[in-house]
Amino acid sequence: MKEFTIGKNDAGQRLDRWMAKTLPLLPAPLAQKYIRIKRVKLNGARAQRDTRLKVGDVLQLYINDEFFDQPTPENAFLKLFKPKLDIVYEDEHILLVNKMPGMVVHADETEKVNTLINHIQAYLYQKKEWSPYWENSFAPALCNRIDRNTGGIVIAAKTAEALRVMNQKIRDRELEKLYLCAVLGRPTPSAGTLEGFIVKDEAKKQVSIRSKPVPGGRKAITKYRTLATKGNLSLVECDLITGRTHQIRAMMAHAGHPLLGDGKYGSEKVNRQYGRKHQALWSWKLTFQFTTDAGELDYLNGRSWQVEHVDFVEEYFPGVAVSSGADSSR
């Protein structure tokens, strides 16, 4: 319990607004709940959230100590009252989450709280499965990332060993990640391999494709196959042989088939026509294909998961079935 005596600088404020200022990590819905269930007392009695505070009032707060800390990137998850996650798979070592387009995976200059990692940490914290305040606590971490406006499966590690093993497997390409995308036109041939060299433009935050090696260029290889066509759109599955920035988006555009909704590499006119604000790209299927020892994660070898719903498939290719894999849990 912590006790506060109201001075003249805080007099006249509503109780709920005083709490928001004093405990910036405490979500507003949780603050209202604490007031309602008498974990906040005013002069020893029950308080109302719209009560105006007076000089000399004594507030007693029966609230966890962590909510009194100053906000930092490490405790930003506390501000999330109800974590929003589409969980594809979970066990004691890892968590597979289907990230929605529009959400960043880590904090950036535009968003500090509503990030995928914060939702994951808030979820595990509220389950009492993890707390940063436990001694020698490992903070759950992401093993891979995808762009803000791309949807799909992201792997999170719950333990330090799981993070170490998964990072190694990703580096050694012992995972298969398949993407679905809706592109303009009909790729010819309907299946094949795109190869080139990706050059990053840091100022524009985008890349370009070159057919021959150039200084600063990195080899990029994407396998693709067309699953369906409807009108001027094709549903394409992509397998990244290399993992470069904006690889699928840039390579498909370079091949003459930009992704629908892509604001950097696509057609603004067509995007407006379809009303598509995010690129039609989804990391939809993940398969673990370990060729070396995986330690405590060896049980994952050979298993596969996929997401159940991909918005642009249902919208532009209704009736097309893209699911496969007996061990898929979604």
Q: pLDDT tens-digit profile of 229-275?
A: 999 999 999 999 998 999 999 999 999 999 999 999 999 999 999 99
CB 220 within 8 A of CB 251: yes
pLDDT at 110 (0 to 100): 86
Domains of the chain, first to last: 2-68 (3.10.290.10), 76-171 (3.30.2350.10), 175-289 (3.30.2350.10)
Q: How many CB atoms lie within 10 A of CB 1?
A: 8
Cβ density class 228-238: b for 16+ within 10 Å, e for less? bbeeebbbbbb
pLDDT at 257 (0 to 100): 98
pLDDT at 54 (0 to 100): 93
Omega prior to 189 cis, within 30 of 0: yes
pLDDT at 328 (0 to 100): 40
Q: Are strands 281-288 and 151-157 parallel, antiparallel or unpaired?
A: parallel
Tokens, residue 3: 């006790």
Show Cβ contacts of residue 63 under 8 Å, excluding neighbours closer than 6 positions.
2, 23, 26, 34, 39, 40
pLDDT at 134 (0 to 100): 85
pLDDT at 148 (0 to 100): 93
Global pTM value: 0.81
- Residue ranges for the chain with pLDDT beneath 70: 323-330
pLDDT at 323 (0 to 100): 63
CA distances from 76 to 66, 117, 159 (A): 11, 10, 20
Give the span between the Cα atoms of 147 and 281, in whole angstroms: 10
